[in-house]
């Protein structure tokens, strides 16, 4: 099906482990984004990408790494997970107007 | 520093009445504003948007108003329905080179039957 999909939907990991959240879109949108949602903070932008091989920091990039070797994929990696990175992560894509969001990945870091 | 602010964490409205959700922003370079609705365990879904060259945009029961001088936008829902109960986020798009969308903290709307 066309759209934007995230995997895994749920993940439990331990402090210090590396975790990668995947995001795939089928619209060939240029822009892709990663947000995290936390109570009291709303949706905060982690990283975004304007095209393949072009990425930039958002509001809360520390502790995260992204790559975009293909237009359709935008993985988010936590190189050494911390408890403060427990959150719900949303990927989104856009041409130049509205964002289309995935269903989210709930990550728990123990 | 929060560039997009939603100062009301929650709002309760009777069914059939008007719901007004507010949003303030600090960056005068924002050129496009959006409202999203979010149900639990789902991704946010787009509701309505407005360009900075306009001051009003309507889509059915939803109207967004933009006051650039006050750096304020609002979402009006008329009439409110129980299915509108959700968290609403406003967002603003910056134009410094590439498009960057900043979201507010959200307002939880409860429409009472």
What is the secondary structure of A31-47 as a DSSP string?
Answer: EEEEEEEETTTEEEEEE
The rounded Cα B102 to chain-centroid distance in angstroms is 12
Cβ atoms of residues A91 and A23 within 8 Å: yes
Distance CA A47, CA A59 (A): 8
The rounded Cα B12 to chain-centroid distance in angstroms is 16
Model pLDDT, residue B48: 97
Mean pLDDT value of segment B5-23: 96
Strands B56-59 and B45-51: unpaired
DSSP, collapsed to helix, strand or coil, labels residue A61 as coil
Residue linked to tokens 């029961």: B61
Mean pLDDT value of segment B80-107: 91
Model pLDDT, residue A8: 97
Higher local confidence (pLDDT), B96 or A75: A75
B25 touches chain A (CB under 8 A): no
CA atoms within 13 A on the CB side of A12: 1
DSSP state of B38: E
Set of chain A residues whose Cβ sits within 8 Å of the Cβ of B36: 99, 101
Give tens-digit pLDDT for A36-61.
999 888 999 999 999 999 999 999 99
Q: Residue B101 corresponds to which tokens in the numbers above? A: 């969308």
Q: Confidence band (pLDDT; 50, 70, 90) for B94?
A: confident
Determine the residue among B2, B9, B43 to mutate to test chain A binding: the one whose Cβ has the most chain A Cβ atoms within 10 Å: B43
Model pLDDT, residue B96: 65
A52 touches chain B (CB under 8 A): no
Which of B 36-75 lie inside 8 A of A, CB atoms? 36, 41-46, 49
Q: Residue A40 corresponds to which tokens in the numbers above? A: 């009291």
**Residue percentage of chain A with pLDDT more than 70:** 98
Determine the residue among A4, A37, A43 to mutate to test chain B binding: the one whose Cβ has the most chain B Cβ atoms within 10 Å: A43
| Residue B107, preceding peptide bond in cis (omega within 30° of 0) | no
């Amino acid at each position: 099906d066309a759209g934007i999909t995230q995997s895994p939907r749920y993940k439990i990991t331990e402090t210090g482990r590396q975790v990668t959240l995947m995001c795939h879109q089928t619209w060939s949108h240029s822009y892709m984004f990663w947000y995290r949602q936390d109570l009291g903070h709303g949706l905060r932008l982690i990283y975004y990408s304007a095209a393949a091989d072009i990425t930039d920091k958002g509001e809360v990039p520390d502790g995260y790494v992204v790559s975009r070797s293909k237009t359709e994929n935008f993985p988010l990696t936590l190189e050494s997970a911390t408890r403060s990175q427990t959150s719900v992560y949303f990927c989104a894509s856009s041409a130049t107007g509205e964002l289309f969001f995935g269903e989210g990945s709930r990550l728990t870091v123990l | 520093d929060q560039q997009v602010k939603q100062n009301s964490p929650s709002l309760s409205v009777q069914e059939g009445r008007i719901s007004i959700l507010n949003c303030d922003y600090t960056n005068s370079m924002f050129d496009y504003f959006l409202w999203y609705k979010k149900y639990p365990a789902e991704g946010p879904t787009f509701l309505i948007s407005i360009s900075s060259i306009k001051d009003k945009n309507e889509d059915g029961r939803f109207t967004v108003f933009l006051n650039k001088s006050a750096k304020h936008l609002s979402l009006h829902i008329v009439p409110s329905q129980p299915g509108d109960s959700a968290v609403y986020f406003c967002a603003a798009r910056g134009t410094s080179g590439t498009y960057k969308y900043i979201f507010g903290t959200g307002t939880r709307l409860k429409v009472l039957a």
